[in-house]
């Protein structure tokens, strides 16, 4: 294949020459093969910004649009673009900061207008992230209740509200839902909602431009401050110190503060203890991985919003095998819908297994003992060699018992084969391990969660 070797820098006025020509071919391919509503909503607003070597930079109108396309369609672009253009071309989705040549297209013709008064450089709320569009299940019920409470009475219910959990479980959705609800209840109030990355960039920009007074007015003279992914303040001492003082100012004024992180305040490394302790002053809520019923409901709601004809069998297949986070679940649905649209086929179980073969194992799949050993060792932070050693330390013995239990349950291997793989001569050791894990799973929540998590990761 030929190599794309011409470099063009992105500009506010857009790109020229080869970049425009390549994007024209890609855009025509999308327009001709996708459903009209799917193309209009997600791909028509994209603009090519430039070509640098083998990387085509594509601009989206806002961070939400960029993240959605990047999360849900990157694998698809990587698959169809190189054969289409005849070169190993990679696509990079970024936010287009240049002035648009025309009014920006709405993400959803039926979506309500953006709420709140925007300040230059301020991230606005996403109108699609509402409490009504959030699927509630046992894994997130308390987090939703807490979020609704602070949205109803900002600064008086729980302040701060600290939401934490793994990536892709809905923390960002809840932050924007809170902001949208505050705007609706108090139309005149200004809500500052940003990522920690944006806050850091604004802080650095304020220092370089000598505009710290403007920066502090933006973040300290607001009706509520919501910051996503505060774990990224770690290692940024000056930014963290500035945020510490902003936090104190707002807290003393009873201004609502809502924070999200992928870990609890006590697990945040690289942040001063005085800041982490303040994160625990109000309400700290953990969001867990959604259970099967919630995952299926999320898929149904997403399909309805995107006008995708999703049958129960396909929804069940995806919900069974994709468990790690909601973003991956929704991404799989959008990826499947795009391929179905291109092929002109309805969504079906065979198509889903074909398109999503990287995340959905074939029927009758059994993981090997070696894979189970690797997964368990990684989960408990030890090596496979340590796991299969003769050590009787509790930090090794329990993981070994869990691994033996899963080998019997998932790999369906004989007791003697399992014993040999763990360097044991007698299979009675395996029997004892299985009985022990069965007992602990009933009495110890931590062990039960470990087994469930490992079971899911190994078979998906």
Domain shared by 334 and 374, yes or no: no
Q: What is the per-residue burial (b if ≥16 Cβ within 10 Å, else e) of 261-275?
A: bbeebeebeebeeeb
pLDDT tens across 156-178, in order?
878 999 999 888 888 999 999 99
Domain shared by 210 and 171, yes or no: yes
pLDDT tens across 107-118, in order?
333 333 333 333
For residue 207, what is the domain's CATH number? 3.40.50.300
Amino acid 364: pLDDT: 64
For residue 74, what is the domain's CATH number? 3.30.300.180
136 occurs within a structural domain: no
- Yes or no: say if 203 and 232 are a contact pair by the CB < 8 Å rule: no
**Which of 322, 355, 388 corresponds to the end of one domain?**
355
For residue 446, what is the domain's CATH number? 1.10.1750.10
Looking from the CA of 82 toward its CB, the CA atoms found within 13 Å total 14
Domain shared by 281 and 154, yes or no: yes
Domain shared by 80 and 153, yes or no: no
For residue 306, what is the domain's CATH number? 1.10.8.60
pLDDT > 90: percent of the chain:
23
CA dist list (Å): 335 to 72, 163, 283, 303, 347: 6, 29, 37, 12, 11
134 occurs within a structural domain: no
**Which of 270, 286, 302 corresponds to the end of one domain?**
286
226 occurs within a structural domain: yes
**Which of 264, 286, 308 corresponds to the end of one domain?**
286
Give the chain's mean pLDDT: 82
pLDDT > 70: percent of the chain:
89
Domain shared by 37 and 61, yes or no: yes
409 occurs within a structural domain: yes
121 occurs within a structural domain: no
Domain shared by 277 and 220, yes or no: yes
105 occurs within a structural domain: no
Q: Residue 224 — very low, low, confident or very high, per pLDDT cuts 50/70/90?
A: very high
pLDDT tens across 324-374, in order?
778 888 888 888 888 888 778 888 888 888 888 777 776 767 788 888 898
For residue 120, is pLDDT > 70? Answer: no
- Yes or no: say if 213 and 222 are a contact pair by the CB < 8 Å rule: no
Amino acid 325: pLDDT: 79
For residue 82, is pLDDT > 80? Answer: yes
Domain shared by 333 and 222, yes or no: no
Neighbours of 31 (CB within 10 A): 13
Domain shared by 445 and 387, yes or no: yes
Amino acid 4: pLDDT: 36
Q: Residue 106 — very low, low, confident or very high, per pLDDT cuts 50/70/90?
A: very low
Domain shared by 297 and 351, yes or no: yes
Segments forming the whole domain that contains residue 80: 18-95
pLDDT tens across 402-418, in order?
999 999 888 888 898 99
Mean local confidence (pLDDT), 394-402: 90
Domain shared by 274 and 309, yes or no: no
Domain shared by 278 and 303, yes or no: no
Q: What angle do CA 188, 192, 195 make, to 5 degrees?
A: 155
Number of domains in the chain: 4
Domain shared by 399 and 328, yes or no: no
Looking from the CA of 216 toward its CB, the CA atoms found within 13 Å total 13
More confident residue, 162 or 3: 162
67 occurs within a structural domain: yes
Q: What angle do CA 212, 214, 218 make, to 5 degrees?
A: 115
For residue 428 the two structure tokens come to 């009675």
Strand partners, 284: 162
Whole-angstrom Cα distance, residue 254 to residue 153? 11
71 occurs within a structural domain: yes
């Amino acid at each position: 294949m030929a190599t794309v070797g011409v470099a063009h820098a992105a500009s506010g006025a857009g790109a020229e020459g080869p970049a425009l020509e390549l994007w024209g071919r890609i855009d025509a391919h999308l327009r001709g093969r996708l459903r009209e509503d799917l193309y209009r909503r997600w791909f028509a607003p994209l603009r090519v910004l430039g070509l640098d070597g083998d990387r085509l930079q594509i601009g989206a109108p806002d961070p939400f649009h960029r993240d959605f396309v990047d999360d849900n369609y990157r694998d698809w672009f990587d698959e169809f673009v190189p054969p289409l253009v005849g070169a190993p071309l990679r696509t990079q989705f970024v936010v287009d900061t240049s002035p648009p040549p025309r009014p920006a297209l709405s993400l959803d013709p039926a979506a309500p207008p953006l709420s709140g008064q925007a300040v230059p450089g301020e991230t606005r709320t996403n109108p699609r992230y509402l409490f009504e569009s959030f699927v509630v299940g046992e894994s997130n019920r308390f987090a939703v209740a807490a979020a609704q409470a602070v949205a109803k009475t900002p600064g008086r219910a729980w302040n701060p509200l600290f939401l934490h959990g793994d990536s892709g479980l809905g923390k960002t959705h809840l932050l924007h839902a809170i902001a949208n609800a505050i705007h609706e209840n108090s139309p005149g109030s200004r809500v500052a909602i940003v990522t920690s990355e944006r806050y850091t960039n604004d802080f650095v920009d304020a220092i370089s431009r000598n505009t710290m007074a403007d920066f502090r007015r933006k973040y300290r003279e607001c009706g509520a401050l919501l910051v996503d992914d505060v774990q990224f303040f770690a290692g940024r001492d000056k930014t963290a110190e500035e945020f510490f003082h902003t936090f104190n100012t707002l807290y003393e004024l009873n201004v609502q503060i809502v924070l999200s992180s992928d870990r609890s305040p006590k697990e945040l490394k690289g942040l001063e203890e005085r800041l982490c302790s303040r994160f625990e002053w109000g309400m700290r809520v953990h969001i867990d991985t959604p259970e099967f019923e919630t995952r299926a409901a999320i898929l149904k709601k997403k399909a309805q919003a995107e006008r995708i004809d999703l049958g129960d069998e396909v929804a069940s297949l995806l919900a069974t095998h994709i468990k790690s986070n909601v973003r991956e679940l929704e991404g799989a649905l959008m990826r499947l819908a795009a391929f179905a649209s291109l092929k002109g086929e309805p969504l079906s179980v065979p198509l889903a297994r074909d398109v999503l073969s990287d995340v959905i194992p074939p029927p009758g799949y059994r993981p090997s003992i070696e894979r189970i050993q690797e997964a368990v060792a990684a989960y408990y932070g030890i090596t496979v060699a340590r796991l299969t050693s003769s050590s009787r330390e509790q930090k090794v013995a329990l993981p070994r018992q869990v691994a033996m239990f899963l080998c019997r349950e998932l790999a369906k291997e004989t007791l003697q084969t399992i014993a040999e793989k763990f360097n044991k001569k007698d299979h009675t050791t395996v029997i004892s391990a299985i009985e022990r894990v069965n007992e602990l799973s009933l009495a110890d929540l931590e062990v039960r969660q470990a087994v469930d998590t490992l079971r899911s990761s190994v078979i998906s």
